[in-house]
Amino acid sequence: MWGYTLKGNVSESVKPMNKGFIAVGVLLSILATTDALAKGDSRAAPVVVADVSERMMAPTVMVAGSVVSRLDAAVAAEMTGRLVWVAEVGDRVEQGAKLAQVDDTQRKLEVEESRAGLAQVKARLTFFEKELKRLSSLAKQNNAARTMLEQTESDRDVARADLAAARVRVKLAQDRVARSVLRAPFSGTVAQRLLQLGEWAESGTEVMRLVNTDRVEVRAMVPLSSLKFVAKGAQLRVLSDGDVHHATVRSLVPVGDLQSRLMDLRLDLDGNPWPAGQGVKIAVPTAQAVKVLTVHRDAIVLRRSGAYLYRVTAESSAERVNVMLGVASGDYIQVIGELAVGEQVVTVGNERMRPGQQVRVMGGASE
């Protein structure tokens, strides 16, 4: 019994001692690792770099523009009458779909009337053709006067002309019924009702505005001085709400307004990133593009004393290089200083860097 009790006491006393040794060992390991990491960080700062490169750049001026639909129409009534149906604002319609309906009750009655007139002319023509056949038979037997035969032939010819005119009148009446319905000239969205249900629409009166939101372009009025620096097919930067896209010059009207001295610029916008009506800024070149030395914008450190950046040397240290800034385009900016193409400059981690500090390259800035 005593052996059992002593054994139990020894076991219980050893377990806390083992746990204590383990805890001390883990703590010492963490402290050692932390100290090593701290020493490593003080020796080499982790940075992201980008290459110095040459690019074709031109000075630009930011011009205000708008995203507009290439298909934006005020659809007008073709027939006069009271509107008995009008599409709702926001309705999406396909080309040829009904947009509005003018009361066509009277025009449908005109169709019936013209058809009745057509039937009368057909009956008269049938009579004259039969009469002409009968008189021709009698004339062969010398039982009919020649003048009567000629008169009947004339009446038949007149009836034939009347038949053609009656058929045209039917088609005109049917056309008036068809044009009592306003149909979409292209696929789009009803953007505005200019007349409401029950209102009177005169022929030529605008009833609604239809806009195609799938085919949009950028429109801007730019200085005439930019004409020789902008060509059809050129890519220009377009900015709005922090988003940047490139648009292709579709047309440039080389005629300036007499007062503003501005000309019309149109750009194709792929992907429809903005809705029609969105305000944008377009970077329009004001001189010919030339090859310049550039770096990523993030490499530049701006201070009151000027601008500088850090170049990574062959010894993996940060070397401060003072630069002058030039033309900017997108994420890149022209720099003038003691730099060469292919050299690496720090883009992330440069704000608190010290000249001569050791660096550890973690990656490169994306283009």
Chain segment 290-336, per-residue pLDDT in tens: 999 999 999 999 998 899 999 999 999 999 999 999 888 878 999 99
64: left (phi over 0), alpha (psi -120 to 50) or beta: beta
Looking at per-residue confidence, does 35 or 84 come out higher? 84
Check whether domain 73-98+185-212 has CATH 2.40.50.100, yes or no: yes
Pick the CATH number of 104-179 from 1.10.287, 1.10.10, 1.10.3470, 3.40.50: 1.10.287
Instruction: Answer whether 305's CB lies under 8 Å from 324's CB.
Output: no
C-alpha span between 50 and 226 (Å, rounded) = 33
Q: Give the model's confidence band at 144: pLDDT under 50 very low, under 70 low, under 90 confident, else very high.
A: low
For the domain 60-70+215-285, what is the CATH code? 2.40.30.170
Q: How many CB atoms lie within 10 A of CB 273?
A: 17
Question: In the chain, which ranges are continuous DSSP H helix?
Answer: 2-43, 105-140, 146-178
Would you state the structure tokens that stand for residue 75, as one six-digit string?
């659809």
Instruction: Answer whether 141's CB lies under 8 Å from 147's CB.
Output: no
Q: What is the structure's pLDDT at 174?
A: 97
Q: What is the structure's pLDDT at 14?
A: 37
Q: What is the pTM of this model?
A: 0.66
Question: For the chain, how many helices (H) and strands (E)?
Answer: 3, 23
Domain ranges of the chain: 45-58+290-364, 60-70+215-285, 73-98+185-212, 104-179
CATH class of 45-58+290-364: mainly beta
Would you state the structure tokens that stand for residue 76, as one six-digit string?
């007008």
Average pLDDT over residues 332-358: 93
Would you say how long the chain is, in residues?
Answer: 367
Q: CA 293 from chain center: how many Å?
A: 33
Would you state the structure tokens that stand for residue 3, as one six-digit string?
């052996």
Angle, to 10 degrees, between the axis of helix 105-140 and the axis of helix 146-178? 160
C-alpha span between 240 and 63 (Å, rounded) = 12
Q: What is the C-alpha end-to-end distance of the chain, expressed in Å?
A: 81
pLDDT (tens digit per residue) in 61-113: 999 999 999 999 999 999 999 999 999 999 999 999 999 999 999 999 999 99
Instruction: Answer whether 316's CB lies under 8 Å from 79's CB.
Output: no
C-alpha span between 343 and 358 (Å, rounded) = 17
Signed CA dihedral, 74, 78, 83, 84: sign only: negative
Of 14-23, 217-226, 318-327, which range is least confident? 14-23
Backbone phi, psi, residue 288, to 5°: -70, 145
C-alpha span between 110 and 93 (Å, rounded) = 30
Q: What is the structure's pLDDT at 22?
A: 39
H/E element, 202? none
